[in-house]
A and B are shown apart, each in its own frame.
Chain A
Amino acid sequence: MTEKPDLNLEVDSGNFSYPEDYAFDAGYGLNEETIKYISGVKNDPDWIREFRLNALNVFRSKPNPTHWATKDLENIHFEKIRYYLSKGQTPKRSWDEVPDDVKRTFERLGIPEKERKYLAGVEAQFDSEAAYSNVKAALSDQGVIFVGSTEGLQKYPEIFRPWFGKVIPTGDNKYSALNSAVFSGGSFIYVPKGVKVRHPLQAYFRINAENFGQFERTLIIADEGAELTYMEGCTAPKFETATLHSAVVELVALKGAKIQYITVQNWSANVFNLVTKRGLAMEEAEIKWIDCNIGSRLTMKYPGVILKGRKARGEVLSIALANNGQHQDTGAKMIHAADETTSTITAKSISVGSGRSSYRGLVYIPKHLKGCKNNTECDALLINTDSRTDTYPAITVRGQGNSVQHEASVSKVSAEQIFYMQQRGLTEAQAMSMSVNGFVNDLVAQFPMEYSVELKRLIDLEMEGSVG
């Protein structure tokens, strides 16, 4: 872990770097001046300015959590990072400047031309005006608010402010504090009482937004009885010049509301992806996280649900694939805080080559509660002999009348199984892909169609390099 060389975190020398001019640049390092610069550019209201400055102090006072997490975190040099960069609305990158291997990957994933340019940063926004206008009309008819976080806090403070930073307080962890200090980008969504949004919402649809910020901040509120599905990310690799990504996502499901939050991310191998995601589920509300992580140097992400109201339900479905040199440290947190609350965690991880995947789970049911249930299942698949997996479940259940089930398995793709498939005519790589796809199949079936198809292709691509 520590033997890895320090990453050079300068923007112009990353894995996929492009010379660029930025209209706004907060410079290297992080201090009060950086925060003031960001607040100035974004025209923050006073309470956000104070929120950011306070968060900076919290960030400084907290150590890196290396007493339980990997020491690789020490290789992040906070003084070498630029915390706010904005191109404005005029992209300077041309398609010709995009590296050939990136173009090839896009092609093989079958991503449409328009989308490719957007993903590679050639176009500032995805040209989905036609698709978007229908969605937008339907949404505004229903009174749904769907804007960037900056616009949200400025235009709708009466809804935004009561919940912002309440599900994930600034001091939750060092990286939530960092995000709270320098956040930009991300979405703000409010779904009014009883409104059921039929189509999944995607950041794509938001025009003129800083979609994929380094420090994006998303707040989603589903009012009583409302329902919504949100999808973030895409299966195409994100070619980022910045190497530290630290997002915060807060979900609030009021009485009887349902929120489903789907993430499929494929990071380039130089990225530290340290994300805090949590939802608050009130009475009879339901929050479901579907989280798929591929790529990155280190991902630490444990989507959680605080089950605050009676009969609230929480679910996490997680798939992680760690390839050579990568560490996927993922899992889930379920905090039961009311009677008859139920939670389910299903986590599957795949370790390829020298990849390492860790499952970290926390389930907490205090003594005074009755009728709570948790079911946890985590399965790991190891592809090569030097692949690694570890499981760190922390289950605290007190009191009587609460039930917890925990099942964990580790399996290897056996040589016999590969031989069997090869004997039917599949190449070794095809056989590997089929095993891996079969392993995650029951989870992938719960993804929206287009995601599951892309995910399958992505696994095929990842497995091609694993045999030799």
Chain B
Amino acid sequence: MNTLEIRNLHARIEEREILKGLSLTIPQGEVHALMGPNGSGKSTLAKVIAGHPDYEVTAGEVLLNGENVLDMEPDQRARKGLFLAFQYPSEIHGVSIANFIRAALQARLPEGQEIDAVEYYKKLYSKMAMLEMDKSFTSRAVNDGFSGGEKKRNEILQMAMLEPTYAILDETDSGLDIDALRIVSQGVNKLRGPGLGALVITHYQRLLDHIIPDVVHVMVQGRIVRTGGRELALTLEDRGYDWIIKESAESAEAATV
């Protein structure tokens, strides 16, 4: 039961269908990678799971430990333990990172219960040390004027603080130089453990040199076309996506014959 399970998911934006019957299961404690060419629907999948209002789910289920979350508001899903590290995190002017994360934690407590400020800052600073972040960072407004690397580190810091049971990392490597990539990956690796199931979305194999996945899925045109071990990612690096697109087109043709 302790899985994030996506069953036959169909979703569209306006009239265009992007997810066309996608199925995927991530057990708690495992890290899965999701790879695929541009436009295959990887980011859409992340947003649909998190409940982005622009997308309409036309069929299928997203089960979080057996419970369908598709009728829930995005914030309910988040409080159930789902976290999305955004590819393009939003800026929130005038709200410091410390206050933002604190509000997010506060939202998880029952009414009338207050976060202990001392404990909170202790935890915050220890997580920041882990991510090699300067303490002054938390007094800056959320993502306001951040470099690409700072934005991604901020996402991982929030993930570390909110301690989700399932996390989706959407192209966390995009826009990172090699040092930032190392730090972010180390952060994710430190959060790995039996309590976390993660789906790492990436276009390139290089992130998977740092975050070693248990399972690799390849997505083409709104579906998972192949699932394998880490070696699948390495094959993709050597041969690109063309062969797999071709194969999946052939098999789709075969299926319709």
Contact = CB atoms under 8 A, between A and B. Distances in A.
B94 A427 contact: no
Contacts of A439: 93-94
A41 interface: no
A425 B107 contact: yes
Interface stretch (B34-42, B71-79, B186-194, B212-220): B71-79
Interface string A418-454: 0111111111101100110111111000000000000
Interface of B: 50-54, 73-75, 77-79, 83-84, 86, 89-95, 100-101, 103-105, 107-108, 141, 158, 162
Contacts of B103: 426, 430, 434
Given A419-B53, A422-B73, A425-B79, A414 B90 contact: yes
Given A427-B75, A428-B73, A420 B94 contact: no
A417 interface: yes
B93 A424 contact: no
A417 B74 CA distance: 13
A9 B77 CA distance: 49
21 contacts: A415-B54, A419-B50, A420-B86, A420-B92, A421-B90, A422-B74, A422-B75, A422-B78, A423-B51, A423-B75, A423-B77, A424-B78, A424-B100, A424-B107, A425-B105, A426-B107, A434-B100, A434-B103, A438-B94, A438-B95, A442-B94
Given A415-B53, A428-B73, A423 B78 contact: yes
A438 B93 contact: yes
Contacts of A442: 94
Given A420-B86, A438-B141, A425 B95 contact: no
A427 B84 CA distance: 16
A141 interface: no
A416 interface: yes
A435 B92 contact: yes
Nearest to B108: A425
B95 A434 contact: yes
B92 A419 contact: no
B90 A420 contact: yes
B92 A434 contact: yes
A431 B89 CA distance: 15
A421 B79 CA distance: 12
A419 B74 contact: yes
3 A-B pairs with the lowest CB-CB distances in the bound complex, closest first: A438-B94, A441-B94, A424-B104
B79 A440 contact: no
A265 B61 CA distance: 50
Most-contacted residue by chain B among A414, A415, A419, A442 (CB, 10 A): A419
Contacts of B93: 438-439, 441
A440 B93 CA distance: 9
B161 to A, nearest CB: 10
Contacts of A440: 94
Contacts of B162: 424-425
Contacts of B84: 423
A438 to B, nearest CB: 3
A274 B101 CA distance: 42
Nearest to B78: A425
A446 to B, nearest CB: 13
B95 A427 contact: no
B50 to A, nearest CB: 5
Most-contacted residue by chain A among B53, B101, B162 (CB, 10 A): B53
Contact of B52 (A419, A435, A437): A419
A3 to B, nearest CB: 33
Interface string A225-266: 000000000000000000000000000000000000000000
Most-contacted residue by chain B among A415, A423, A435, A439 (CB, 10 A): A423
A442 B144 CA distance: 14
A421 B92 contact: yes
B107 to A, nearest CB: 4
Contacts of A441: 93-95
Interface string A99-127: 00000000000000000000000000000
Contacts of A419: 50, 52-53, 74, 90
A417 B92 CA distance: 7
Contact of A420 (B54, B89, B101, B141): B89
B79 A437 contact: no
Contacts of B141: 438
B120 to A, nearest CB: 15
Contacts of A428: 73, 75
Most-contacted residue by chain A among B78, B93, B141 (CB, 10 A): B93
Contacts of B158: 424
A309 to B, nearest CB: 35
A261 B74 CA distance: 43
Given A421-B100, A424-B104, A430-B103, 17 more contacts: A415-B53, A415-B54, A419-B53, A420-B92, A422-B75, A423-B50, A423-B51, A423-B84, A424-B101, A424-B162, A425-B105, A425-B107, A426-B104, A430-B107, A434-B100, A434-B103, A435-B92
B53 to A, nearest CB: 6
A197 B86 CA distance: 52
Contacts of B101: 424
B1 to A, nearest CB: 23
B92 A438 contact: yes
Contact of A427 (B51, B52, B86, B107): B107
Interface string A373-400: 0000000000000000000000000000
A324 B180 CA distance: 46
Nearest to A436: B94
Contacts of B100: 421, 424, 434
Contacts of A437: 94-95
A428 B51 CA distance: 13
A424 B92 CA distance: 13
